[in-house]
Structure 1
Amino acid sequence: MRLKALVAAAALCCSASLGHAAGLMAFEVPADVSGPALKVLQWSPCARPADTVRLGPFAIPAVRDCPIAGDGKLPLIVISHGFGGTYLAHHDTAEALANAGFVVVALNHPDDNAFNAARFDSLAALRTRPIDVRRLVDHMLGPAPAAARIDPERIGFFGFSRGGYTGLVLAGAQPDIRQLRAVCQDPTGAKCDRIPAGMVPPGEPASDPRIKAFAIADPLASVFPNGSGLRQIRAPLQLWRSQNGGDGVAPADVAAIATGLPEKAEFHDVAGAGHFAFLSVCPEALAREQPAICTDAAGFDRAAFHAELNGQAVDFLRRELDRRAGP
């Protein structure tokens, strides 16, 4: 998905507010031989009263650079945005997870975020996205200030659209990028032609066994035709599907993911939802500029849906990560 309106989200300014808050900090993972620098936002449990942190068009209930509250090691969740998105695309989900006791990091994928529109015609991100996440996990377990507070045995993932594809690959799926469909008049992409073979990026995306549980929303699924390439997935999945699809994601392809997994996923079929319903509720300014990603079908309440989505994601990730942490 495209969130060009978030290009302005480079500056932070705070004003007082009331209520519970998550701690919020911005940092970079340095460039290395595996890729360029990664811009990251981190949410974490915070014991201080909430401020309002303004990032572009969003007002985030958070406290900048708040020390991580509590004692002991906490689970880590990585959030991966969709095509043309940013680390703010699912900020309400990040806030809910942080308030529930998780350390959460969301990154801007360098090859297909809103700050780098020059890369929109490239498919390189289908190879580099899993690498981005592995580099971020390396950082969070290594030089990151929060490393001492993170339990390396409890790492989870939330991803939407191409971010959902990223999660499936990290879980062990083997995509056939040659099956990707080009943009055409069909918003789900189901009736579009396949991309030219010359556009397929070289190299094979690889899994990361450190990530133990995955919440996946409306993934780019056409690269797993008829649910193929999923046999190596063993981690628990929570899979969400919009009823109407969109932006090249066909509901039938997402359903094929559910039936193609070797172990049954926790499956949620969201009635009345289009593809972009998984994005955080748009503030008025963004809704005026980007109606395609902010407007839902008549009768669909995105705010109410996100209360369900976030609650279910928190419960699933907590349960599965705690179960795999051992005694």
Structure 2
Amino acid sequence: MRFAKTLCFIAVSLTATWAHAAGLKSFEVPADASGPALRAFIWSPCTVAPADITLGSIIVSGVRNCPIVGANLPLVVISHGHAGSSLGHHDTAEILADAGFVVVALNHPRDNFSDMSQSGDISVFIERPTDIKRLIDFMLNASPEAAHIDPSRIGFFGFSRGGYTGLVLAGAIPDFHDPHVSCPEPAPICGQIRRNELPTQPLTQDARIKALVIADPFSFFSTKDSLKNVKVPVQLWGSQYGGDGVLPENVVALTDDLPAKPEFHVVSNAAHFAFLAPCSPALAQSQPEICKDANGFDRVAFHKSFDADVLSFFRRHLIEAGKP
């Protein structure tokens, strides 16, 4: 498997160097007029054998601060769900980086595990797409990795609210009054919607994103008209049972309403948090609500196939699509 990944890596002229692991480092995008500082992690191709790295209660596989290998590398940006983190999908990031992608994931300000100060407010749904655009701007212009990235090969991975974020970036127009979206009190956002207290600034779009993988997206998009401007290829994942405000039927509806039929996968016997990386023992003990799967669902086994399918999709649409 690892040998096959490397052959593909070489074949697309990304580098002729053997890639063994995901280099890992943290960084910060400075605050600017568009928003506060963004804290993020970056994974990149590396020639050093990986080791376990403990970050709080999460264990990742990689090499800290490993020099990046390769040129003209595709970039994938990851957006987490409500109260999530930049490490919530680290296994997917590791697989992609090991295969020759640069991967970056942020903590969305005021809607992450350590700062939920506005997680119940409508404003985060407006600010999230801007966070991603600012992150891409930084990666292409100011980051040390900028010279290694091909700006014409950018993909996006989003889970839950991150899925919503990706659809907006690709041109979708949300309807916050959509009656198909469950919005019970006491969530502040529900009162804001009912009182029509919605932000007036335009939503950020980013045409540099060429492919989307979205898992159990939080959807304010109930009509074909709301999605008519989404022209990029989409790989859509839905859990059988949903959760955390995501309704399975709303995810399924996207398959009919997107202009081009997405590559759609339903994960049988799974609930919403199955898309998060398998948990370490410490994380499972401290956060059982996001770590423990019901009905005998095997998250570890699922992620082996899930990560492989995500990698295959991004290879097809960010690498092979540009070949003659």
Q: Do Structure 1 and Structure 2 share a fold, with TM-score over 0.5?
A: yes
Q: Secondary structure at the match of 1:212?
A: strand
Residue 101 of structure 1: SS of its match in structure 2?
Answer: coil
CA distance in 2, matches of 1:54, 1:98: 19
Q: Is the 8 A contact 1:24 1:43 kept in 2?
A: yes
Letter in 2 for 1:239: L
Deviation string, structure 1 residues 158-208 (Cα, Å, up to 9, x no partner)? 0000000001111111111222532469xxxxxx99942344333231321
Partner residue, 2:128: 129
CA separation in 2, counterparts of 1:261 and 1:198?
Answer: 27
Equivalent residue number for residue 313 of structure 2: 316
Partner residue in 1 for 2:101 = 102
**Would the aligned equivalents of 1:153 and 1:325 in 2 still touch at CA under 8 Å?**
no
Match of 2:46 in 1: 46
2:264 is the counterpart of 1:267? yes
Aligned equivalents of 1:62, 1:253: Cα separation in 2: 36
| CA gap 1:193/1:224 in 2 versus in 1, 3 angstroms | farther
**Contact 2:243/2:271 (CA < 8 Å) preserved in 1?**
yes
The separation in 1 between residues aligned to 2:282 and 2:266, in whole angstroms, is: 30
CA contact (8 A) 1:111 1:128 kept: no
1:70-89 equivalence runs, <5 A: 71-89=70-88
Match of 2:235 in 1: 238
Mind listing any 5+ residue stretches in structure 1 that lack a counterpart? Answer: 1-18, 186-191
CA contact (8 A) 1:182 1:195 kept: no
CA distance in 2, matches of 1:254, 1:176: 15
Give, in whole Å, the separation in 1 of the partners of 2:173 and 2:224: 11
Which residue matches 1:286? 283
* Matched residue, 1:16: none
- Secondary structure at the aligned position of 1:316 is classed as helix
Q: Secondary structure at the match of 1:178?
A: coil
Distance (Å, rounded) in 2 between the aligned partners of 1:204 and 1:175: 11
Query: What is the CA-CA distance between 1:285 and the residue it aligns to?
Result: 1.7
Q: CA contact under 8 A between 2:74 and 2:101: conserved in structure 1?
A: yes
| Amino acid across the alignment from 2:282 | A
1:278 shift after superposition: 0.2
- SS class of match (2:177): helix
Aligned-partner residue type, residue 212 of structure 1: K
**Cα distance, 1:50–1:105 mapped onto 2, change above 3 Å:** same
Distance, in Å, in 2 between the alignment partners of 1:193 and 1:266 is: 35
Alignment partner of 2:66: what SS? coil
Please state how far the C-alpha of 1:38 moved relative to its aligned partner: 0.4
Distance 1:291 1:183 in 2: 24
The match for 1:218 is 216
Shift of 1:23: 0.2
Identity rate, percent? 52
Q: CA deviation at 1:212?
A: 0.2
Q: Write the deviation string for residues 62-119 of structure 1: whole angstroms up to 9, x where unpaired.
A: 11110112x3210000000000001011010100110111000000110311121222
Runs of 5+ consecutive residues of structure 2 not aligned to the other structure: 1-18
Picking from 198, 207, 229, the partner of 2:205 is 207
How far apart, in 1, do the equivalents of 2:126 and 2:57 lie? Answer: 31
Residue in structure 2 matched with residue 62 of structure 1 by the alignment: 62
- Greater Cα shift, 172-181 or 308-317: 172-181
Matched, 1:250 2:251: no
Q: CA deviation at 1:283?
A: 1.3
Q: What letter corresponds to residue 60 of structure 1 in structure 2? A: V
SS across alignment from 2:226: coil
Question: What is the root-mean-square deviation of aligned Cα atoms in Å?
Answer: 1.9
Contact 2:192 2:198 in 1 (8 A): no
Residue 35 of structure 2: aligned partner: 35
TM-score, length of structure 1 as denominator length: 0.88
CA drift of 1:54 comes to 1.2
Give the structure-2-normalised TM-score.
Answer: 0.88
- SS state of the match for residue 152, structure 2? strand
User: What is the DSSP-based 3-state SS (H/G/I as helix, E as strand, rest coil) of the residue aligned with 1:177?
Assistant: coil
Could you tell me how far apart the structure 2 residues matched to 1:182 and 1:95 are?
35
Distance of 1:150 and 1:39 partners within structure 2: 20
Deviations 1:226-260 (A, max 9, x none): 45500011100000000000100000000111110
Residue 281 of structure 1 aligns to a residue whose secondary structure is coil
Equivalences, count:
301
SS of equivalent residue, structure 2 residue 54: strand
Q: How far 1:121 moved relative to its partner?
A: 2.5
Answer whether contact 1:178 1:200 (CA < 8 A) is retained. no
CA distance in 2: counterparts of 1:299 and 1:252, whole angstroms: 23
